[in-house]
């Protein structure tokens, strides 16, 4: 496994790795887009197949299937919301509620791709649960745990922005001051819970945020 990737779990049916911030999950455009997590994993596990993605700027746990049968089983589990993910983020400002839900429909902001937007008329239903972990009044930030119930593109980033609390280091959605507060997006996929694609046994993985 590449030194740039942290192998968390591997068996005959699936692989879990910790993706660093700044690495594409799948191939992008042009020569620069060839280096990505899926291709790095395939150098050791040639049958590894994608079942979900993380934004390039997001770090944390990512699951890959080994072979078409496992990919099909895991894809169905994701579609049925049987795979449970939790993220940790550091956002700008003090969140007024210690926990809650963000229920705002999202759609692509086509003139400004790849950005997404809250769209009450034609957006797809999108739900995020959140829980405040820590408030840093000196820095004016809040550390928050996030559970995406749906899996829309940029869902966590847009939902937090809509609350008035953009994620630190978010080059797509935050203003210049919040962008400059961190050299990277402070969003990390910290927890993954699912049934094993072959045995059905519960699997649980955790990755502490590197920030």
Supply 8's token pair. 């968390």
- Looking at domain 86-187, does it have CATH number 3.40.50.620? no
Per residue in 81-128, pLDDT tens? 999 999 999 999 999 999 999 999 999 999 999 999 999 999 999 999
Domain 6-83 fold = Pseudouridine synthase (3.30.2350)
**Where in the chain are the domains?**
6-83, 86-187
Cα–Cα distance, 23 to 1 (Å, whole number): 15
Using the predicted structure, report yes or no on whether residue 3 has a pLDDT greater than 50. Answer: no
Cα–Cα distance, 66 to 32 (Å, whole number): 26
CB-CB contact of 156 with 171 (8 Å) = no
86-187: same fold as 6-83?
yes
Catalytic residue among 11, 35, 47, 55: 55
* E-state strands within 149-186: none
Q: Has this prediction a pTM greater than 0.85? A: yes
137 included as an active-site residue: no
Per residue in 54-80, pLDDT tens? 999 999 999 999 999 999 999 999 999
Cα–Cα distance, 74 to 10 (Å, whole number): 15
């Amino acid at each position: 496994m590449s030194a740039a990737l942290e192998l968390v779990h591997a068996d005959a049916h699936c692989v879990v790795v910790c993706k660093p911030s700044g690495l594409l999950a799948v191939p992008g455009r042009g020569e620069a887009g060839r280096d990505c997590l899926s291709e790095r994993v395939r150098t050791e596990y040639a049958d590894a197949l994608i079942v979900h993605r993380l934004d390039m700027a997001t770090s944390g746990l990512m699951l890959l299937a080994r072979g078409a049968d496992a990919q099909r089983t895991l894809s169905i589990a994701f579609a049925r919301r049987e795979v449970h993910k939790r993220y940790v983020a550091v956002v700008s400002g003090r969140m007024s509620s210690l926990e809650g839900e963000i229920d705002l429909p999202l759609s692509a902001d086509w003139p400004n791709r790849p950005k997404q937007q809250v769209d009450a008329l034609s957006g797809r239903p999108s739900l995020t649960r959140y829980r405040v972990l820590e408030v840093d009044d000196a820095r004016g930030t809040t550390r928050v745990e996030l559970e995406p119930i749906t899996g829309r593109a940029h869902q966590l980033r847009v939902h937090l922005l809509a609350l008035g609390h953009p994620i630190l280091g978010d080059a797509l959605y935050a203003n210049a001051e919040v962008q400059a507060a961190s050299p990277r997006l402070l969003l990390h996929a910290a927890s993954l819970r699912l049934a094993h694609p072959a045995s059905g046994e519960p699997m649980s993985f955790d990755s502490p945020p590197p920030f």
